[in-house]
Every structure is written in C-alpha cells, then in structure tokens.
Structure 1
C-alpha cells in the first residue's frame, strides 16, 4: 500500500535482554526469516527499529520539490494534524510547527533534527528550518507521539521532524536556481558536486533577500555548506559543515484595543509597532560520522557534532531600547549499534545507543528597567534501546526505553539567590503492537512516556515588584512528563490508501508562561495538569490521467484538567484543521494545489478565556512546473484567495481590552528557474 509506505507506522521498543541492536543500514536486505519486517530506511534515521505501531509520515523528494510553498514549514503544514504558526511571513523559515496541540510551547515539545541530530537549542530562540537548502533534502520524516522521545530524546512529547540529507544519488555537476517574487523576494542557490564512490564532495550556497510583507520586515540570509563523504568496503565516512548569517527587522505586533476602538490589524496591517527593532544571527554547525559493518547483521555508528548560535537583538519601543545578546553552544556524541537479523526464527530489528550532550548559554539583557545576565549549562546522558520483533506473520511487537540523566545549572550574577542546580533522572518509554488483519487492513496501538526539560529562558521569570523595577523570581522549574496512548488503522483498497488514528496525551508539570492575574505581569511556571486528545485521518487516492488527491482532517482537544483554569482550552490550539491536496503529473510537466483550513483558537496568555479568539482561516496555494532539458521552471501563487488573516496573537497580561496580532501576507506570486549542468 502506498500510504503504508508513505505513512509508515512507528513505535519505540526495547531489546529485552537481547545482545543485539538495530538501526537503519544503507541498502540493507529484507530479513529472510519466516516473519519479515519492513526493510530499513535511511542511515540518517533511527526509524528502522519499530515502524509499526504509531503514526509516521515520510515526505519524499518529489513531494518536496513540487509543493506550492517556498519554506519547509509550508510543506509541513500540508500534513494531517500539523499546525504551522508564522509570525511575520517574510520567508525566514523560523515558523513553529505544532504536533498534537502544544500551542505556544510547541517549539519545546516537538524535536527538529537534521540527519538524526537535534537542532533545538537551550533557549526559546526557535528552530531555523532554512539551515538546510531545499535542494539538499532527500526526505522528511514526521514522527507523531512520544515514540520520538525514545528514539531522539527529551523534548519529543508531541513528536519529531527529521530532515534527511543523506542517502541521495552521489552525482557530479553544477546546478543553479533563482527565485523572484512578491514583497521584493529574491533568492539564489547553487550546488556543486564532484566524485561519486568512493569519494564525493558537495558544496552549496544559498542567499535570500526580501523586503517582507510588513514595514521593518526585511530579511537577508546567507547559508553555506560543505559535505565530504568516503564510502569504503565496510565503512562509510562523512564530514559536513554549515555556516549561516541572518539579519532581519522586528516589526512587532498590531495593537487592538476593544475599549477605544483602536484596530491596527484592520486599519494598517502592514505597519510596524517597533519600526527600528532588528536582530542579527550567526550559526555554525559541524558534524562527523562513520558507519562500519561489523558483520552481515551488525553495524556500528559513531556520530559527533558541534553547533553554535550567536544572536544580537535590539528592541526599540516606547520605554526605550532593550538589548539581548546571547550565545548558545552544544556538543554531542551519539554512538549506537544496529542489528537487523533474526532470533529464534523471528525477524528482529534492534537499536541501542548512548546520546551525550553538553550545552552552554550566555545571555545578556539590558533595558532601562533591568540588567539581567544568565549563564546556563545543561548536560544530558541518555542510554536507550528499542526494537521490534515479528511474533507471527501478522503480529509485530514494539518496545523501547530511554534513561535520561540531566544536570542543569542556571544562575544570574544579579540574583545569586535564584541559582538553580538540578540533577534529575527520567525515563521515556514506548510499548506497541501492529496486526495485519488482511493484506489490505492493519491495526496498531501504542502507549508511551515522554520527558521535557526547561530552557534557560523558561527558568527565568519576571514579576512586577513595584514600577519601574522588575525582579527575577526563581530559576526552579520541574521537568515536564507525559503519558500518551494511540490506536489506529491503515487500509488500502485499489487506488485508495488511508490512515486513521486516535490519541490522548496527559501532561504533568507542563512548562509555560502564565499571566498570573490580568493586572500584573506573569511568569514562567509548571502548569496544572493538561490533556490533549484527538483524531487524525488522511488518505491518498489515484484518480487516473495523472491525478492524485490527498484529503486530510484532524480534531484536537487541548484543555486544562486541574487548577484555576480547569476545563478551559489551552491557548493557540485550534480544534479542527484539515485540507485537500491535488497533484497532476504529465510528460515533463506537473501541477499542484493545496487547500488548508485552521479553526479558531485562544490567544497566547488567554488561559482565562476572556479575550476574543483568533479567527479561523483557510488558504489556497497552487504551483505549476516543468522540465525542458537542463532547465526547470516553477511558478506558484500563495494565498490565492487573498485571505486577511493572522495565525498568532497575544493577549495583554495587564489590560483585558488589549491584544496584539501579527498579520500575515495576502496573495503572493513567485517564479523559480533552475539549470543543471
């Protein structure tokens, strides 16, 4: 079934005392025992050990190239249950992707990885999806639910997004791509490749400039990357490095005051609340790895990486200028052993490894009211094992466990009493099963536990201690834990493949900002218990004559289940989302259209449910392209219906009549041309 291939089911899994381990192996053969498991996927993935009992979507290179969207978040927004929130819409690809309803905290509850290595940082700075040029991406894995927590570590509560750049064809040549579009959008990309096997070199450069939809919304970004790979008889070696720079304006929100009638969202949506605010960012990442085949069934993988991000932001507002300078660095080492074989006549896929990570954060903040410096260190050491076994020709059992030791040390020279020095041990786990009722119908079920650690920004909170001074309260936050459960089915009849799954996530000590009361500034804290539950459904149907349709719908209920907000909705989580994709393929020409709907939702800070909701919206995007010899052309129109909308808004925590929204672009057109030599 095609959807079974594209929506591989997954869950994490443990080797119960087995002295064997599993993980993807390039070109690994299918198991030859009586009960076979799915073949291994990519060397940059950890999804080979247990793809049967939860929901995974794999977006292949063809889908990525054709999608009517210029950023990865645009592409991810077309998947069932994924909600993308962009603040400024200027193509900076720092939008937040939410999986299964975590709202404002989605960025800390969804892991983002490049070739299996996490790129979430120690602060709330967000993920830069544009770090990987779109042309370099081979596929994207979207893993829903806490199976991600066993596979990839803390923070994978709602799920994980793994961007795969390895495993593509190693060719020689040069390609160049240019894009122009609305709001002064300009982009140039080039890729140089030389060699093949046993040695290959790939160099790429990517430059983007745009004026942006709003005033003070411009962006200039440069990304440079280099990869060297050597493939020998039994060992593969890889070294890669990426350096990027970004400069962008920070236009702020558009204020609405229901008491005075002020509504800048309607009267001046493209204006700037902070026309002089700006930010500069530098990122560097280097990775090295080797994969060695110890025997026909056993592989050893040794991976290490270092990344550093420096940001300087100037926020110029009515109360003066606030400066925020920060430097975040992370070093990681992730060795693992992989086994794909059999035990007792049953096919077995197993993986076991150790993930070691050390992060440092240096934050300096200056404003007319406060001087605040924070130094943070986070060390995590995790040992994990997971696997699946074909019990019969129809039944597969998955299980997995990860033990996580974390040591967090956060302090501020301005408030020595607020120092937090925590040592904790937590466990993430998964257990699941998949049963093939017939060749066309599969049932699956799983349960799991996940963990999320606090960021350095979340460990610092402010409360009004008497105007105009602010004081740090405390750096102490409990680690967040959750249990989730999922059941579902995959079916395939003729040209139609479909998947339906239902889930529930119970969260304890969720880390979030609370407005406290409407007359005082809020602070970061552990919330009372919350619950997410919902249903996701999607299908793929081939209609003939080159047409394919992809309908999807998701319902998500996210509510507080204890405390002062008991029964209220979690902010920034729409109940209903859905859409429809239509693709057509001809001879050297293609066309795609994607429609998506997002329901109304509570604003940030509106746990009390006293502000108006963010209105629902629906968007239509279309694209058409083709290839003639060495030249490829693509045209796309975003927001074809010119919808006026915003996806993010924040309620004031001091005035019940005031909120700020972030309007997003109307209709926009783009033209892209590529040539390959």
Structure 2
C-alpha cells in the first residue's frame, strides 16, 4: 500500500494544467448525480434479474468500462474484478493473455470459460481468446460468475464463466458516435458506431481501428474490427442476426533471458524494451455469423441460437528452427433451449432444458519459411464434435429460499491425423516423424447444487457444490508435437479432468451499496498440465490438486462518487504427484499470486467531470514451468495505479488519462527453461502511458 502514498510533482503539475484547460472545471456549477440502472443478466442463458439468480456474481457496467481507461478486455478485468491476467506478454491485451478466475495459472483459459453473448469464443487448442476481436467500444457489460457454469455451459468452466455482452440495437435508438484516441508509443485508435431503430426493429454498426508501436522493440501492432447487428421486435418474438470480422497483425519481441549462473541478463544488456526475436510475427483474421430466435409465451420461453466462426492465423518463430505455420479453424454450433415456469402448490419452479451441438475443425500446415508453405513438411488435421444435454430447475421454496439443481451430460468425439514429408523444404532440420492417426470418444457429466436465502434489506447467504470437467485440447494431445520416451511422435489422449467445487457465499445487493464474500475449495483429479521434466509426452494428467480461496468485493455509490474494491486470497497446491525426479506434494502451482487487491474510485465534479483512479496489486508468483518450485527466483509482486479524467457534455466526450501512473518497472510473467537450470525468460510490461480521447455523439442514444 505504500505506493498509494507516493506523489510526483513532475507528473502532477503538467497533468493538472492539462486537465483544467481541457475540462474548465468551475466549483459553482451544479453536479449531476451518477445514475443507477437496474441489472438484467443472461448468464443463465435466459434473461434474469440479478436478485433472482442463486449465485455470487460480479457485473462490470458500461459506465465502469468508460471510466476505466483500459484499452482491452484483459486489462479491464484485472483492474475491476479481482481477476488475475497472466501471460499478457506485452501489456497490450495480446492474444497471449489468459484470464484466471481461480488460480489455474498457465492453463487458466482452459478452466475459465469466456463467452460473447453466451457463445464460446476460444478454439479447442492452446491459443487464447482472440481479444483483438472484442473492442471495448462494442461491450455493454461483463458478467462474471466464479466457480459455476458447468451445467449450463459444459466443459472448461471449473473456475467460472465470464460473459461479455455486446451492444445490440435498441428500439428507437438513432445515433452516430465517433471517437478517437491518441497516446504514448505512437498509439492511435478510432471508432465509429451507429444505430437506427423503430418500434419493430433495430440496426447497429460498430467499427474500430487500432495502431501502436507498443512498449517493446519489434512489437508494432495493427488491428481492425467491425460488427453489424440486426434485431426484430415482435409482440412475443424476437429475432437477431450478427455479422463480424476482425484482423490483427503484430510483431513479437520475445522473452528477455536471465541466467545468473553464467551472468546472462538481457534486461540489462538490451534494456527492458529490447527484443531477442526481430523476425517473429503473428497475423490473424476472424469472421463470424450468429443468429437467434426468441419466442416468449409468458410462462414458457423457447430460444434457439446458431453460429459459424472461422479463423486463419499465421506465425513465424525464428528460435524454433525457423518455424512458419498457418492454421485454419472453423466452428459451427446450434443451441436450442426451453424454459418453463410453473407452480406445484405454493412452490415455484423455473425449469431450463437445453442442448448444445458444436463441430470444430482445424488444419495446421508447417514449413521453414512463408514462401515454402505450399510445400509444408508437416500437416495436422483434427475434427471435434460435442453434444451436450442439460437440465436446471430453480425452485422458489418460499419468498426467502431459492434452490437450484442441475445436471449435464456431454459426449465428445475427436480425431487426429498427422503427415510428415521428409523431402519438403526444411524437413531435414526438424528431426521429426509422423504420428499414427488416432481418435477418441468420451462421455462426461457434471452437476450443480445452489441454495440461497434472502435476508433483510437485500442481504443473502448461500452455499453451492458442483462437479465440473475439462477435456484435453488438440495441442495437448499432440498437434504441435508430443513424443514418447523413444522420441517418436505420438498422439496421446488424456483422461478427463474432474473437479469438485464447494462454496459458501454471502453479501448484499442494494442500489447504493453492495458487498459479497465467497469462500471456496476446488479439488481436482487428473488436472491436465504441461510436464516438461518427465521424459516422453509433454502434457499429462496430474493426480490431485487443491485450491482454497477467499474473495471479497464491495462497492458504494453516492450522489457524486462511487468506490469499489476487491480482495482475493488464493492457496493453490499440488496435493500429490511427481515431475521427473521431483515430488510435487505441497508445491505451489505456478502463476498463482496468493494476494490480489483492486481499488477503484470515481468522483463527479461540476459540469459532469469524472475523475477516476484505480489501484491494482498482485503478490509474487512461482514462474511458469516451475512446478517443483526449484527456481531460486519468483516473479516479484507489483502494483499499478491508473488515473483518468473525463467529461460528457452536449454529446461531446473528452478524456485524458495515465496508465501506470508511478512509472513502475515490472513484469507479470516469467517462464523457467525446461532445458537449462537457473535460466528463465521475462516479458517486461509498459511503464507510464499517457493518452487523450475525444468523441461526439449525434442523435439520441
């Protein structure tokens, strides 16, 4: 907390002058109160009022998004929800960033389910969510459910679910909004949004472009995204369709290596902004189409959603024997579901029945150079089909008691085919072979039980228990190369990872003041993780892990100010197992800070000028690949403070802000070498960043 007390006159004096000139603050003007809107959620796959959901939730509103000064979703989550973002290598919310709700470290995004408008957006491999396809300007709110979601959404929801709700066209919305931002490291972005609506339909268009040199050398990035949404409003029927596209081109500066045993320290020799991989890059294009039909007959409601998504990415990594790869992925899904509300005597029942079907396929071609990709030395193909059936019943035992009981069954079929051409360009240097084709069919099930009691004045207390699961993705079974003890390339299908989560939560939901506290334990069997220290295939099932934690969040909203804070304590350990010759019992799981703390505050001055500050602290972590905890260095604890001043008046919007206000030098990710003892790589993150924003809205919103 000592960082909150530090003060820099060199920084504050020019900023004060800039802010006062930009916003013309006058103390005699009337102050406009901060508005409070009712909250409706769709994490339950239907629209539900917050107070009707028997679970512990966190909502990030559009007002908080606008005040945050964040430039991407991972950054926003780490500032506002007590969420730890790991593996954000470059501080730009790149596609490496993993959002971790409950201490899963390097496999966080395999255990935290990310949704956009209720649909999965992560592919079935070790790539992370394509965050560049989700500009903050497209988002209406973010719904966060910790430790639940296995029944309604299936695999990969052990730590919880984050549902990103995008803006949709509303009735009689008629506006055009233009916004531009410029900042440090030659960062520029622009966005245009427009909506036109009547009582019967709405149409919305969103576009955004972004360009930045970023903090590190060889880290220039450009990205563009566009979205078109249409909605028809009937008396009892709503239909919607959404089309979107995004593309990203980013250079990759790589890790800076440190090895105390031989004096290597590239942070000192190259500087924090240096690069060790001047030729590495990544390019990605994604397109999607989604649609839905919603029929509401009062006590009954039927919804069907469908979608298609395709992505193509290219990457080059000089350090891996000149590896150039192209990957094409395609996903089809359909999700019909039915809701029925009825009474049995004085007991209310709200039943949800649904089915999920998804077909996912990938083709990955690998060569030594981009110009040789038409003659690749390795081609990998895989197809995966998932079928899921679920039922959930929320029972209103009385006005004060609510019980939710649910179960789910999933079946997955997966095939993998590998070919290797020893005569292709660059093949001789790879020392590879061809993995025999393999397929797998597996069935898993999960359940959830939630009991919640409403107390007086919006207070509540509840308990829950659930069984969740995740299945190995194509990279974990060998898409990018798994080898047996004789170093023959193989596919290795792993056992399902099974977790049991138990929670006690209590809190209060009121218009001005909320708090919630959550205590939990997750016991996981056959956890799927990388094991670099054991000879043979690199990914395996670890026998037992245990996570215990305490989560507390609170917020208060006055007439002219709002404050919120979150504290998370996590204890993540291996309960049993070995790696190489090392016993893992009692060892800390890598990339899991024990303490996380966030504070956010906003004060509304006269003339609707908002001053927002957020402070974020993360304690030290064991670095990636150090499961036996044998490295003598951990990732140090760090804190980041951000400040933003904004004003809205007559359709205009102005903003000025500073990220990393106190110019901290830090990194949130480091990885231990699997081949050289005491050697590790770090990814330095940006120091102070200053930015300005201006926007104008025409029409009514």
TM-score by length of 2: 0.86
What is the match of residue 589 of structure 2?
570
Structure 2 CA distance for partners of 1:552 and 1:532, relative to 1, 3 Å: same
What is the match of residue 30 of structure 1?
none
Partners of 1:269 and 1:165 in 2: how far apart? 36
Structure 1 runs not aligned, ≥5 long = 1-37
Partners of 2:397 and 2:469 in 1: how far apart? 30
SS state at 2:623 partner: coil
2:132/2:248 contact within 8 Å kept: no
What is the match of residue 283 of structure 1?
286
SS state at 1:66 partner: helix
Q: CA RMSD in A?
A: 2.4
Q: How does 1:81-96 map to 2 (within 5 A)?
A: 81-85=82-86, 86-92=88-94, 95-96=97-98
What is the match of residue 16 of structure 2?
none
- Selected match of 1:513 from 530, 543, 556: 530
2:208/2:226 contact within 8 Å kept: yes
Q: How does 1:469-480 map to 2 (within 5 A)?
A: 471-480=488-497
What is the match of residue 438 of structure 1?
456
How many angstroms does 1:47 deviate by? 6.7
How many angstroms does 1:443 deviate by? 1.1
How many angstroms does 1:522 deviate by? 6.8
1:115-142 Cα distance to aligned partner (Å, 9 max, x none): 1011010111110233233233221101
SS state at 2:79 partner: coil
What is the match of residue 269 of structure 1?
272
Partners of 1:457 and 1:387 in 2: how far apart? 36
Matched, 1:548 2:562: yes
Structure 2 CA distance for partners of 1:261 and 1:580, relative to 1, 3 Å: same
How many angstroms does 1:367 deviate by? 4.6
What is the match of residue 392 of structure 2?
386
Structure 2 CA distance for partners of 1:433 and 1:167, relative to 1, 3 Å: farther
1:356/1:382 contact within 8 Å kept: yes
What is the match of residue 335 of structure 1?
336
How many angstroms does 1:416 deviate by? 6.1
What is the match of residue 127 of structure 1?
129
1:490-511 Cα distance to aligned partner (Å, 9 max, x none): 1469964321110011111111
Structure 2 CA distance for partners of 1:532 and 1:563, relative to 1, 3 Å: same
Partners of 2:482 and 2:509 in 1: how far apart? 56
Partners of 1:563 and 1:657 in 2: how far apart? 23
More helix by share: 2
2:73/2:134 contact within 8 Å kept: no
1:115/1:166 contact within 8 Å kept: no
How many angstroms does 1:44 deviate by? 8.8
What is the match of residue 603 of structure 2?
584
SS state at 2:686 partner: coil
Structure 2 CA distance for partners of 1:292 and 1:446, relative to 1, 3 Å: same
1:298-334 Cα distance to aligned partner (Å, 9 max, x none): 11111100001111101123x6411121111110000
What is the match of residue 404 of structure 2?
398
How many angstroms does 1:627 deviate by? 1.1
What is the match of residue 118 of structure 1?
120
SS state at 2:63 partner: helix
1:560/1:570 contact within 8 Å kept: yes
SS state at 2:89 partner: coil
Partners of 2:554 and 2:45 in 1: how far apart? 24
- Selected match of 2:642 from 602, 621, 628: 621
Partners of 2:46 and 2:546 in 1: how far apart? 28
What is the match of residue 314 of structure 1?
316
What is the match of residue 594 of structure 1?
614
SS state at 2:149 partner: helix
Structure 2 CA distance for partners of 1:479 and 1:595, relative to 1, 3 Å: same
Structure 2 CA distance for partners of 1:613 and 1:418, relative to 1, 3 Å: farther
How many angstroms does 1:202 deviate by? 1.2
Partners of 1:201 and 1:670 in 2: how far apart? 31
Structure 2 CA distance for partners of 1:585 and 1:563, relative to 1, 3 Å: same
2:492/2:537 contact within 8 Å kept: no
Q: How does 1:53-132 map to 2 (within 5 A)?
A: 53-85=54-86, 86-92=88-94, 95-132=97-134
What is the match of residue 27 of structure 1?
none
Partners of 1:670 and 1:347 in 2: how far apart? 52
How many angstroms does 1:411 deviate by? 2.3
Matched, 1:292 2:310: no
Partners of 1:636 and 1:39 in 2: how far apart? 28
1:227-270 Cα distance to aligned partner (Å, 9 max, x none): 11111122111111111111100111000011122222344111
Q: How does 1:34-53 map to 2 (within 5 A)?
A: 41-42=41-42, 45-46=45-46, 48=48, 52-53=53-54
- Selected match of 1:301 from 295, 298, 303: 303
2:45/2:152 contact within 8 Å kept: no
Structure 2 CA distance for partners of 1:570 and 1:148, relative to 1, 3 Å: same
Partners of 2:496 and 2:77 in 1: how far apart? 28
Structure 2 CA distance for partners of 1:591 and 1:608, relative to 1, 3 Å: same
Matched, 1:606 2:626: yes
Partners of 1:78 and 1:630 in 2: how far apart? 27
How many angstroms does 1:381 deviate by? 0.5
- Selected match of 1:526 from 541, 563, 575: 541
1:579-618 Cα distance to aligned partner (Å, 9 max, x none): 2111112442212111011011111110111111111100
TM-score by length of 1: 0.89
Structure 2 CA distance for partners of 1:94 and 1:537, relative to 1, 3 Å: same
Aligned length: 631
1:521/1:653 contact within 8 Å kept: no
How many angstroms does 1:374 deviate by? 1.8
